[in-house]
Structure 1
Amino acid sequence: MEALHQIDDWDVPFAAAGVTSAGAAVATRGDARRAVRLASVSKPVAALAVLVAAEEGVVDLDEPAGPPGATVRHLLAHASGLPFEGEAPIAPPGRRRIYSNEGFRVLGLHVAGRAEMAFGDYVRAAVVDPLGLALDPNGHPGSGMHASLDDILALGRELIAPRLVAPETHGEMVDVQFPGLDGVLPDYGRFSPLDWGLGVELKGEKQPHWSGSLTSPRTFGHFGGSGTFLWVDPEREVACAVLTGRAFGEWAKEAWPRLSDAVLEELG
């Protein structure tokens, strides 16, 4: 795939990029087995583990968790009122979309308590081992996991055609949770509304968007501050992922959409 050759010109110490369908990788560029810190691309992994936990009866999405009045669902959807960092809520649950690493830390502790095992161990049993990944799930549930491009493309295939959770559960993951909430998408500014699913951002009508202009409004995924992203377009049944060794910044806001649009143009 010629589009992936764009990463050769990026001013980054390391880059790997790939595209996958539901069945298999379409193409990759760069070292697909080198593991890097995922930063916030950890969140969809953590969320998938929580959804497995919900199906197994370990937790209920609507049980109390986090600050008073909040639930597991609020934490997954950045609607708990917790700030990006810090334990004190800055809004009542369900009022604002406040992107929160703290919410995922609290979520990991909550699931660990219910499962009576470390959250990383639960992620390994629920997601990593069943998908045959080499992903390291330890560290902060929302920002501390490490994985390779091969791992993230495998995750993309799972998110296109779920096997670990029922279609209804997957449907909740990619449906708007707490519709109408305004919020700030990190590094992109305020959106009204800022739609979010369970652990994944929903593109909707956002423009500009890090996944480019050609991905459908149903596209969902996440990007990370360590220069990583995964988006899934369910209409095209395709996912695209990038891992780099350079922190997210203006370079990524220009390079990522251009790459994503070129990928979809080449796929036709």
Structure 2
Amino acid sequence: MALAVRGGGEVAGRAVVGHALRYAAGPRELPAAQRVPMRADSVFDLASLTKVYTAILVLQLVDAGRVELDAPVAAYLKGFGKRAVTVRMLLTHTAGLPVGTGSRPATAVPLLPGAVPGTTFRYSSVGPMVLAQLVEKVTGRPLDAALRDDVTGPLGLTGTGFRPLTWVGDRDRLVATDARRGLLRGTVHDDVCRRLGGVAGHAGVFGTAADVAAIGRLLLGGGALDGTRLLSAPIVREMLTDQNAGKPAVDPDRPGRTAAHGLGVVLDQPWFMGRLAAPGTFGHTGFTGTSLLVDPARDLVLVLLTNRAHPDWTWSDPDVHRVAVADLFA
């Protein structure tokens, strides 16, 4: 586990616990001498936190006048075909798309039976996959290059990117995930992203706790961080405003959740924010045990990165730990 906390623009707390690698394939627990301890600069598979980075890239295009939030996605991706679905709907999970793609390309995935775009929150990884293709189409660059050129490079986030085996020189920095299906270390845990070569809009970004905290500080700062502006203040206000007020939420995994969601970020969800949950509190979680939580009222950025998926995702529920840490800081 790696924890990074920022408050008042300063580092308010940091903790590193446990191991980046504890199990070999099998899974088989390694002898103590062969385990790799967690470090402050350990690089985690951020899983669905990737969706926040994809949203930032999309909103940069909105800022530049190259994409309109309420335009049909089909205006940018001719093969999408669902003209009632807008860019905003993909960012807010209200398009009516299913959770996954099955064996189909993301742009070919049909809406759920009976779904009316724009009316109901249904968490879906397909939307961010499509948004990634939109970014690539409009910018003319692969998603990983767009992330490097337009986000991580300008901010100096050298511990963040897709396909870490190409840029992490010290393998001991890599936090393992699955050891049951064959040890994954520096290779994305998400099956669909792995089939796409490790680069996708819903998963695939790896990063350190400090680098994730920088993204929280960027949004807390209205789109600017340490003098570098990536987003306009108005688009960040829109990003952090509930887009789904009054809409129902359908989420079999978390039946008590609400539809509260901004443009690419989750809002006011006690199931992972604990007592820090409030209308203005925003963030996101990742399947591998990662989370970003930002409480503007407390000027607080809380990043909790765990290797819940090592040796296997079934052994722990990360929400319990997310809530416990959030409650501690509350």
TM-score band w.r.t. shorter chain: 0.7 to 0.9
Which ranges of structure 2 fall in alignment gaps of 5 or more residues?
17-38, 74-79, 102-108, 164-198, 225-229
Q: Distance in 2 between matches of 1:35 and 1:244?
A: 11
Where 2:317 maps in the other structure, the secondary structure is helix
Q: Distance in 1 between matches of 2:149 and 2:252?
A: 31
Contact 1:121 1:137 (8 Å CA) reproduced: no
Does 2:161 correspond to 1:136?
yes
Aligned pair partner of 1:92 in 116, 121, 135: 116
Alpha carbons of 1:24 and 1:131: their partners in 2 closer, same or farther (altered >3 Å)? Answer: farther
Paired-residue identity, %: 33
Q: Distance in 1 between matches of 2:220 and 2:142?
A: 28
Superposed displacement of residue 218, structure 1 = 1.4
- One-letter code aligned to 1:17: L
Query: If you compute each CA radius of gyration, which structure gives the higher value, 1 or 2?
Result: 2
Does 2:7 correspond to 1:21?
yes
Q: Distance in 1 between matches of 2:72 and 2:3?
A: 39
Does 2:264 correspond to 1:199?
yes
Superposed displacement of residue 137, structure 1 = 4.0
Q: Distance in 2 between matches of 1:217 and 1:61?
A: 22
**Aligned position for 1:154:** 214
Contact 1:120 1:137 (8 Å CA) reproduced: yes
- One-letter code aligned to 1:198: L
Where 1:258 maps in the other structure, the secondary structure is helix
Q: Distance in 2 between matches of 1:214 and 1:230?
A: 12
Q: Distance in 2 between matches of 1:239 and 1:214?
A: 11
Contact 1:201 1:220 (8 Å CA) reproduced: yes
Alpha carbons of 1:168 and 1:186: their partners in 2 closer, same or farther (altered >3 Å)? Answer: farther
**Aligned position for 1:225:** 287
Superposed displacement of residue 186, structure 1 = 6.6
Give deviations 1:27-65, integer Å, cap 9, x for gaps. 211122111111111111111111112112232212211
Where 1:212 maps in the other structure, the secondary structure is helix
Where 2:161 maps in the other structure, the secondary structure is coil
Q: Distance in 1 between matches of 2:161 and 2:110?
A: 29
Contact 2:3 2:305 (8 Å CA) reproduced: yes
RMSD of aligned C-alpha atoms? Answer: 1.8
Q: Distance in 2 between matches of 1:234 and 1:55?
A: 23
Does 2:93 correspond to 1:78?
yes
Q: How many residues matched?
A: 246
Where 2:69 maps in the other structure, the secondary structure is coil
Where 1:88 maps in the other structure, the secondary structure is coil
Superposed displacement of residue 73, structure 1 = 0.9
- One-letter code aligned to 2:117: P
Contact 1:17 1:29 (8 Å CA) reproduced: yes
